[in-house]
């Protein structure tokens, strides 16, 4: 086993230490626990996850502070994440009952046709660092309600929050082995997904890792694979009389969570005649954003990104865009020296011959000028990703056109690209996912439908294609007589 150390990005202080886990043992424990958990009445499984929700509620402040310390996000934002964890339980219960409810289908007389759902078995849940409680919770809870057992591997960058969730499940009285935590880095993750005892993998993270998982399971159609990946998300700024509100929504879409949201706006596509006013206001508001430690006063809008490696990569990306023709609007800077704080970077990439189609996971917004609305939609779709897209301004006819032609799983009008409701499906196409939306639709990939034709007694007959029994007897007698005469 290898030692794991988690440090606070805002201060560099050591927060948590632990050791890597044993993937084979975690899967074996989940496999042992599965028959009993799956056989339990769904009402009892729901009671168990409600106990978990109540324990989270009673420790909400503790969990929020832990999330803030381990991710660097402001305390107010960590509290919203904890609220999402708690609300997810009722949402998941409702989703399960609605989307996987037992149903009676039309059938022949004296027969029943039933639709029921079964759990897959043992599911691996691989979580990200940006929402280390909410996002894995969004897979774990639907999986448990459906009757699966879980091996939960949190991000190696947020192991403390992952351990908190696992401990809370244990304290809630779930049977041993129903939720198993597996700490470790990418190597442990590979050991987990390679284990043949798994029945599926529920993944949230980068497109790079998601593609690797897709390849790994390409010849295993027996294993469910739900991929929730990133985005290179467009936000279009069009005709509007309220420049300030438009700019506020753009800033929030791009820079909430220090830009570390898969649905964050990466590209601002703006009408040329609106460019000067809108971009100037976006820059003005961005200059006012407070960037500081999560518990500082006044409360910051942004904390640091997750670590210095990520911060270095983002500043290098900004410089690379400049060196290839990008025109800086607001330079990205490191205001706190060797700690991973970044100021928002805004850069005009209109004149770049080739724009990188990457998820730059941080506070970096690329701006592109266009002349007409068709060009704006084409530019919005100029990506292999397809998670979130938004139109700010415009009219109802333009929004209809945008909605119809936009290649994304979330398409909004005069709303942020971020902040989707857990009571709706969440997911994308292309490199953003594999057509298995999560959130409210997580119930769909946590259980599979089984159709049954049922009758109380066996009764059958063949009404066509059989020889007449009397004709068979006469034919047999004639043959016997002929044989005797010989």
Residue 349 CB neighbours (<10 A): 19
Check if the beta carbon of residue 250 is closer than 8 Å to that of residue 265.
yes
Q: From residue 455, how far is each of 108, 115, 121, 424, 458 by CA, in Å? A: 10, 15, 28, 38, 7
Query: How far apart (Å, rounded) are the C-alpha atoms in residues 175 and 339?
Result: 42
Structure tokens at 318: 């900004």
Judge residue 401's burial from the number of C-beta atoms within 10 Å of its C-beta, 0-12 exposed, 13-18 middle, 19 or more buried: middle
3-state secondary structure of 211: helix
- Report the SS3 class of residue 324: coil
Contact 16, 167 (CB under 8 A): no
Q: Helical H runs in 381-468?
A: 396-405, 442-446
Phi, psi of 58 (to 5 degrees): -70, -20
The answer to whether the beta carbons of residues 139 and 146 sit under 8 Å apart is no
Q: Given the residues 81, 262, 293, 379, select the one marked as catalytic.
A: 262
For residue 430, the 8-state DSSP code is G
Specify whether 293 is catalytic: no
63: three-class secondary structure by DSSP: helix
**153: which residues sit within 8 A by CB, 6+ positions away?**
124, 125, 126, 127, 162, 181, 182, 183, 184, 188, 189, 192
**Nearest residue to 154 (alpha-carbon basis) of 133, 126, 177, 116:** 126
Secondary element (H or E) of residue 39: helix 23-39
271 within 8 A of 398, measured Cβ to Cβ: no
Helix or strand or coil: residue 461? coil
Of 309, 304, 405, the C-alpha closest to 363 is 304
The SS3 assignment for 179 reads strand
Rounded Cα distance, 457 and 454, in Å? 9
Question: By the 8 A CB rule, do 229 and 212 touch?
Answer: no
Q: For residue 433, what are the β-bridge partners? A: 228
Choice among 70, 77, 228, 281 that is catalytic: 228
Whether the CB-CB separation of 365 and 266 falls below 8 Å is answered with yes
Active site residue 446: no
Residues designated as active site: 228, 262
């Amino acid at each position: 086993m290898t030692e794991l150390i988690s440090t606070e990005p805002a201060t560099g202080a050591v927060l948590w230490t632990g050791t890597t886990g044993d993937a084979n043992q975690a899967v074996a424990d989940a496999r042992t626990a599965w028959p009993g958990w799956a056989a339990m009445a769904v009402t009892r499984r729901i009671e168990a996850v409600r106990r978990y929700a109540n324990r989270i509620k009673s420790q909400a402040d503790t969990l929020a502070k832990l999330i803030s310390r381990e991710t660097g996000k402001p305390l107010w934002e960590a509290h919203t994440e904890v609220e999402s964890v708690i609300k997810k339980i009722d949402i998941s219960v409702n989703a399960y009952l609605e989307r996987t409810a037992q149903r009676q289908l039309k059938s022949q007389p004296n027969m029943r046709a039933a639709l029921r759902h079964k759990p897959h078995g043992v599911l691996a849940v691989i979580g990200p660092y940006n929402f280390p409680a909410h996002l894995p919770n969004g897979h774990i809870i639907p999986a448990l309600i459906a009757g699966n057992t879980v091996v939960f591997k949190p991000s190696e960058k947020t192991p403390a929050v992952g351990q908190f969730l696992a401990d809370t499940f244990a304290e809630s009285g779930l049977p041993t082995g129903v939720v198993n935590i597996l700490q470790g880095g990418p190597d442990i993750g590979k050991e987990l997904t390679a284990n043949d005892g798994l029945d599926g993998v529920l993944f949230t993270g980068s497109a790079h890792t998601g593609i690797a998982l897709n390849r790994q399971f390409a010849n295993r159609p027996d294993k469910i694979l739900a991929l929730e990946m990133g985005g290179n998300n467009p936000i279009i700024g069009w005709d509007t009389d309220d420049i300030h509100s438009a700019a506020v929504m753009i800033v929030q879409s791009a820079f909430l969570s220090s830009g570390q949201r898969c649905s964050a706006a990466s590209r601002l596509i703006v009408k040329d005649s609106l460019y000067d006013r809108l971009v100037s206001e976006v820059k003005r508001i961005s200059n006012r954003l407070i960037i500081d430690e999560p518990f500082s006063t006044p409360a910051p809008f942004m904390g640091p990104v997750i670590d210095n490696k990520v911060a270095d990569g983002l500043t290098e990306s900004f410089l690379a865009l400049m060196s290839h023709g990008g025109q800086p609007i607001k330079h990205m800077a490191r205001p706190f020296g060797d700690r991973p704080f970044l100021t928002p970077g805004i850069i005009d990439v209109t004149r770049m011959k080739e724009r990188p189609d990457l998820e730059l996971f941080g506070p970096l917004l690329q701006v592109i000028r266009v002349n007409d609305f068709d060009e704006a939609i084409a530019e919005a779709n100029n990506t292999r990703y397809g998670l979130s897209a938004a139109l700010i301004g415009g009219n109802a006819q333009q929004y209809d056109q945008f909605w119809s032609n936009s290649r994304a799983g979330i398409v909004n009008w005069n709303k942020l690209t971020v902040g989707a409701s857990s009571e709706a499906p969440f997911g994308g196409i292309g490199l953003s996912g594999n057509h298995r939306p999560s959130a409210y639709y997580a119930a769909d990939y946590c259980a599979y439908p089984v159709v049954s034709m049922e009758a109380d007694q066996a009764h059958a007959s063949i009404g066509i294609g059989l020889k007449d029994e009397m004709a068979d007897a006469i034919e047999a007698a004639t043959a016997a007589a002929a044989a005797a005469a010989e």
